[in-house]
Chain A
Amino acid sequence: MKRVYVNEKWCLGCHLCEYNCAFANSGKDDMVKALKGVSIHPRIQVEEHDGICFAVSCRHCEEPLCVKGCITGALSVDNGMVSIDHDKCVGCFTCILSCPYGAVMPDETGHAVQKCELCLKNACGEPACVAGCPNRAIVFEER
């Protein structure tokens, strides 16, 4: 299945992926209205240290520890994509304890978690982070 893959050496550390993610999942159709003056809660995060930078988002693992450990059944695998049912999630954070990549995080309410769902549940239909990456440091492809 297609996943978001990282080409670390191409990452500029521009954080555009974070903004595009936050916008895509905001439900708004104007980026300025969606992001201006608010603290964003993207599902992809750029790490920067000592001259290296790269973006991290859900790997959609074949053996997802977050899904296996989920105490509510809110996390499930849907056609290869690790999906979260916000209504079922109670925010116990067992998935945050389980994910080896740190790719599941509390949502802006703090009462449930959020994660990358490949923009399949928002209006984009495919990852907005990848579409907006100026240097192909993240790509969406089958490998």
Chain B
Amino acid sequence: MKYIIIGNSAAAVGAVEAIRRKDREGSVTIVSKEPYHTYSRPLISYLLCGKTDEERMKYRPDDFYEKNNVTFLAGKSAVRLEPGKKQIELDDGSVLHYDKLLVSTGSVPFIPPAAGLERVEKKYTFLSLDDAHALRDALFQTAHVLIIGAGLIGLKCAEGIADKVGKITVVDMAPRILPSILDEEGSSIMQAHLEKAGIQFLLSDSVQSFSEKTAALKSGKSIPFDILVMAVGVRPNISLFKEAGGAVERGIVTDAYCRTSLPDVYAAGDCAQSHDITTDTDRVLALLPNAYMQGETAGLHMTGVEKPHDHAIPMNAIGFFGLHIITAGSYDGDGIVIANGPDCYKKFFVKHNRLIGFILIGDIARAGIYTSLVRNKTPLDTIDFALICQKPQLAAFSRAYREDKLGGKTI
């Protein structure tokens, strides 16, 4: 069996580890556009602030490829996929045949058109290790950095560079920060916290035009800057697959086994859609845990093991300047606010006797117990919901559940 994986991040690693659990003989090849050993992209902000380094950013040990008997084609891009011939063509002209192919090409930064952007010399995106290197090299102690985008990427970037520059201004079209993971109340708590750390926000505003070192905003404000970071968002990197005639929506359409519309072609990670069980919709869940688990599902299925990826939910754990956020699920309905203070917020979203989502800011201890309620669609009338709302605890579950999980009936 010949397995080829395009991409070299979490989904690819998940696939390799799954394949090798079942098949030690088949040949596995990873085609990686980036020339680096597999590394964790979410760590680039930690790299800039010195909380990790390139050695510790490696997502798997140095012997990963060797130990798993993987042919690692570093610095090569797949430029064409020919599903009829079951082959891919690389940028060096070589052609590789596959029996099973995984497309795990990730995402690419989305840069909206803006007048004069081409005149800005020092402009950066913030997704890859190369992006982090380029930005790091441009920083200086008195620099004024303008970040476009108050989402996860823009704000992690802000945190990562905060002590290396003079001033950071974040502009976003949305009226609040982190709208993809927080509700309005949560956003305002985090905004106040980030402002205390010196980050300035200009919300409900956007750039009308750039000159080399100035942004003219729709509101009429003029913002001078030294360095520009474009962190508006990312888009699934689906062009290779789409050009081959595969079915795409926002991302590559996949089933519960991560199969695509093309025979023997699978997709996983930020380029692919998952079925979000909290909204019952197929959507791109661009999250590292989801990427790993999709890759694992695909890898297993390639070897003949049918283990569906059927517990996918949006979920995030992220912190800014010491204040942590853990969220999961979707936020339909009014929600139940359990705690609401300056650095503490806790809200639950309940629908049809199920916890479908939650937001925690500050006290995040044992949050995974809440996540399990969302992921397992636990009927809330089978647990002591009032008790678990106060704090996550297994005491709120039935004795039978505890005997099962803690007493070792099953693990």
Contacts and interface: CB of A to CB of B under 8 A. Distances in A.
Given A54-B394, A94-B289, 16 more contacts: A5-B407, A8-B399, A8-B406, A49-B393, A54-B406, A56-B406, A62-B411, A93-B367, A96-B317, A96-B364, A97-B367, A100-B375, A100-B376, A101-B405, A101-B406, A111-B51
Contacts of A101: 368-369, 394, 405-406
B392 to A, nearest CB: 6
Q: Which 5 A-B residue pairs are closest in the complex by CB-CB distance?
A: A102-B366, A69-B289, A100-B372, A99-B368, A49-B395
Contacts of A106: 365
A49 B395 CA distance: 7
B408 interface: yes
A92 interface: yes
A6 B40 CA distance: 36
Interface string A27-47: 000000000000000000001
- Determine the interface band of chain B, counting residues with CB < 8 A from chain A: 35 or more
Given A8-B399, A73-B59, A73-B60, A92 B52 contact: no
Contacts of A99: 366, 368
B399 A97 contact: no
A110 B60 CA distance: 24
A13 to B, nearest CB: 12
A52 B393 CA distance: 12
Contacts of A71: 10, 40, 42-43, 288-289
Given A5-B407, A101-B394, A93 B288 contact: no
A126 B50 CA distance: 35
Nearest to B318: A92
A61 interface: yes
A97 B359 CA distance: 11
Interface in A43-93: 47-50, 52, 54, 56, 59-62, 65-66, 68-69, 71-73, 87-88, 90-93
Given A47-B395, A97-B371, A8 B317 contact: no
Given A59-B406, A73-B59, A88-B56, A68 B293 contact: yes
24 contacts: A3-B411, A6-B408, A47-B393, A49-B393, A54-B394, A54-B406, A56-B394, A65-B368, A68-B289, A72-B43, A73-B59, A88-B52, A91-B319, A92-B318, A94-B289, A95-B368, A97-B368, A99-B366, A101-B368, A101-B405, A102-B366, A102-B369, A106-B365, A111-B51
A130 interface: no
B317 A68 contact: no
A105 interface: yes
Contacts of B365: 96, 102, 105-106
Contacts of A62: 411
Secondary structure dominating the interface of B: mixed
B315 interface: yes
A104 interface: yes
B58 interface: yes
Given A69-B288, A72-B40, A87-B56, A100 B369 contact: yes
A7 interface: yes
Given A68-B293, A71-B288, A93-B326, A98 B52 contact: no
A30 B396 CA distance: 37
B326 A102 contact: no
A98 to B, nearest CB: 5
B390 to A, nearest CB: 10
A67 to B, nearest CB: 9
Interface string B348-367: 00000000000000001111
A54 B402 CA distance: 9
B406 A97 contact: no
A53 B395 CA distance: 8
Contacts of B46: 90
Contacts of A60: 411
Contacts of B324: 93
B387 interface: yes
Contacts of A59: 405-406, 411
Contacts of A72: 40, 43, 52, 56-57, 59
A6 B409 CA distance: 11
Contact of A52 (B322, B372, B395): B395
Contacts of A102: 365-369, 392-394
B107 interface: no
A97 B402 contact: no
B328 interface: yes
Contacts of B292: 68-69
A56 to B, nearest CB: 6
A17 to B, nearest CB: 13
A11 B317 CA distance: 33
Contacts of A68: 14, 289, 292-293, 296
B81 to A, nearest CB: 28
